[in-house]
Structure 1
């Protein structure tokens, strides 16, 4: 098992760099043109980074949030007036605050709940001390980092096998993915992109396609960046090209991640996922959700109970990026950029209203498989996913 207290080799593409007492994240607002890590010293830094989407992806959000408190606890001085009760209260308050940064993604709430229970149990044990409680929290948060990597690799393996079986072949497989679900959205390896990575390593993948994922362009900025970095054969499409792609190419599966999976299999994911599921159903393409059990919310019975975050309207109205220093038409589409000259351009008329939900909910009826680290869950005879199976509860 990897030691989360030790640094990861610099050659590994990571959104998160952690050693005990130190946390840095890759500022994803600057990708793909600049790769700059910024320090996260406390929960306020983490809350801002998550809210501003300098880090995103449900698993990565949970890891950064919980580790930010671990760093703060590790580096903070023990105050003379600290008691076991006040230490637990402070930890719980900070975890509750972190959860408000991105309410739709359940992974953070799940992690916070587990860590609150842990610290409460330490408090109830014989002879608790503030240091004992802090150390227990830090070790548990680090264990979550390690487990996320292991879970992602299991999802990649299981999902790749399921797609190959469903396609009836072990090679020449083409898949489409949406948003970003790779190393940049997790502790490492990825969920949906982890499945694509596994297909590629198995020599099963012929080609991967990724959408731009408007309005925040996680697909064009981040997924394309990862696919190029991993040397996976891939093509970028705009969101409104998906139907044309499915009609012209032999797509075996659409593979997406999840910010929250309800108990019946209804899945909240990045806006645009729902329409891809409808297209996949029309064209007979398998629609696969990759979700660690930390993304599964058995307390939410269906998608109707999932709170959808709405983002600021300017994200739809404005695009930002470095200026181009050459003529892409004359250079075969290759573009040189000036990373020191980043500009924002408004594309829409003043006064226009904006509808900007960050997520949509794909009904279980449109999903063929939900891949967790514990196995692949499929619809039952009633048309729902018995998600409790992923936890060994049925």
Structure 2
């Protein structure tokens, strides 16, 4: 995507480093971080400086290359440390596997592993591009009937920042906008870290796509008022029976969409599908530190500040993801096309 008239991916590599757009600094500051060790990449993933299932998969592929570049080899301990730094998104392991298994199988050095990582990144981004094209056709079908501006509701951030480029849930929105389809996006703020109001809104503003930021609890009301034509979300893992792990709050949107007969679509590359897991209850759900609920960061007089909403002595539970049952999903949008029955992919 273009930022200040320059094309960027959200994560890439050059010379002896992995480069990421620091998602923690957006929307107020556009900062590139240069990561030169495996531990620095892991820290960036854990602290959400780079986040989004496809993006952390790409980062993991580059991290394995970087380990080889720095040490001349990739130890099993380094691989294990990387793939366990965040438990829910299966893409993290997919990216690490692409490079580590190439190393184990062919004993390739850093130069060849660079190309392996690059191929993985390019494949993920091409998948996202195709997701946009396939998802656009769904939006176009609704528009042909409605003949008015489409209102799309999305949760969290599943745009190009989360995917290297193009995005998953936002890819059809970008494609529709490029094709002149009039649309508007309801952007869930996505507490507690506000990936919607900080990142999705920033992406949409950058593309000059109309949007409104809404509180996380507004979606059902908007659907009741017939102000939502479709719900589009990404995914961190989709399992054999079609259940979907995604940002906490996704399930609530699916419940409301079912009640009000609003299409609920999940956009994800095939690397997000994990058919080794039977159902959503078997997906490991990451619980993050309670201080993400307690503390809110923002800008005050051009200074980044952090304030407490409640004392740190108050207990809290911070689930990062939830599970949406397959029965609530109208379609999965993948690089292979729009899939209504998950069994066609298994």
TM-score normalised by length of structure 1 = 0.82
CA RMSD of aligned residues (A): 2.0
2:273 to 271, 282, 296: 296
Shift of 1:178: 0.6
Q: Is the 8 A contact 1:167 1:252 kept in 2?
A: no
Shift of 1:353: 2.0
Q: Is the 8 A contact 2:177 2:209 kept in 1?
A: yes
Shift of 1:205: 3.5
* 1:153 has 2:148 as partner: no
Q: What residue is the counterpart of 1:284 in the other structure?
A: 261
Written as runs of structure 1 = structure 2, the 5 A alignment for 1:359-374 is 359-374=321-336
Q: Secondary structure at the match of 2:297?
A: strand
Q: What residue is the counterpart of 1:265 in the other structure?
A: 242
Written as runs of structure 1 = structure 2, the 5 A alignment for 1:318-357 is 318-323=295-300, 325=301, 338=302, 341-349=303-311, 351-357=313-319
Q: What residue is the counterpart of 1:37 in the other structure?
A: 32
Separation in structure 2 between the aligned mates of residue 171 and residue 188 of structure 1, nearest angstrom: 29
Question: Deviations along 1:349-377, whole A, 9 cap, x unmatched?
Answer: 55332121000000001110011111111
Separation in structure 2 between the aligned mates of residue 266 and residue 311 of structure 1, nearest angstrom: 22
Separation in structure 2 between the aligned mates of residue 18 and residue 343 of structure 1, nearest angstrom: 31
Separation in structure 2 between the aligned mates of residue 162 and residue 92 of structure 1, nearest angstrom: 44
1:96 to 69, 74, 80: 80
Runs of 4+ with deviation above 4 angstroms: none
Q: What residue is the counterpart of 1:378 in the other structure?
A: 340
1:142 to 118, 126, 132: 118
Q: Is the 8 A contact 1:164 1:173 kept in 2?
A: no
Shift of 1:9: 9.6
Q: What residue is the counterpart of 1:275 in the other structure?
A: 252
The higher radius of gyration belongs to: 1
Q: Is the 8 A contact 2:154 2:187 kept in 1?
A: yes
2:184 to 200, 207, 217: 207
Change (3 A) 1:209 1:262: same
Separation in structure 1 between the aligned mates of residue 79 and residue 243 of structure 2, nearest angstrom: 27
Q: What residue is the counterpart of 2:105 in the other structure?
A: 121
Q: What residue is the counterpart of 2:149 in the other structure?
A: 172
Q: What residue is the counterpart of 1:194 in the other structure?
A: 171
Separation in structure 2 between the aligned mates of residue 96 and residue 155 of structure 1, nearest angstrom: 31
Query: For this pair of structures, how many residues does the alignment match?
Result: 343
Separation in structure 2 between the aligned mates of residue 134 and residue 12 of structure 1, nearest angstrom: 26
Change (3 A) 1:34 1:321: same
Q: What residue is the counterpart of 1:50 in the other structure?
A: 45
Change (3 A) 1:366 1:137: same
Shift of 1:159: 1.1
Question: Deviations along 1:95-136, whole A, 9 cap, x unmatched?
Answer: 22111111100001122233333223214xxxxxxxx34333
Shift of 1:172: 2.5
* 1:239 has 2:235 as partner: no
Gaps of 5+ in 2: none
Separation in structure 2 between the aligned mates of residue 252 and residue 219 of structure 1, nearest angstrom: 19
Gaps of 5+ in 1: 1-7, 79-86, 124-131, 326-337, 380-384
Question: Deviations along 1:198-226, whole A, 9 cap, x unmatched?
Answer: 12122223211110000010001100000
Shift of 1:65: 2.0
Change (3 A) 1:136 1:53: same
Shift of 1:62: 1.1
Separation in structure 2 between the aligned mates of residue 246 and residue 106 of structure 1, nearest angstrom: 31
Separation in structure 1 between the aligned mates of residue 317 and residue 213 of structure 2, nearest angstrom: 25
Separation in structure 1 between the aligned mates of residue 226 and residue 259 of structure 2, nearest angstrom: 14
Separation in structure 2 between the aligned mates of residue 95 and residue 346 of structure 1, nearest angstrom: 37
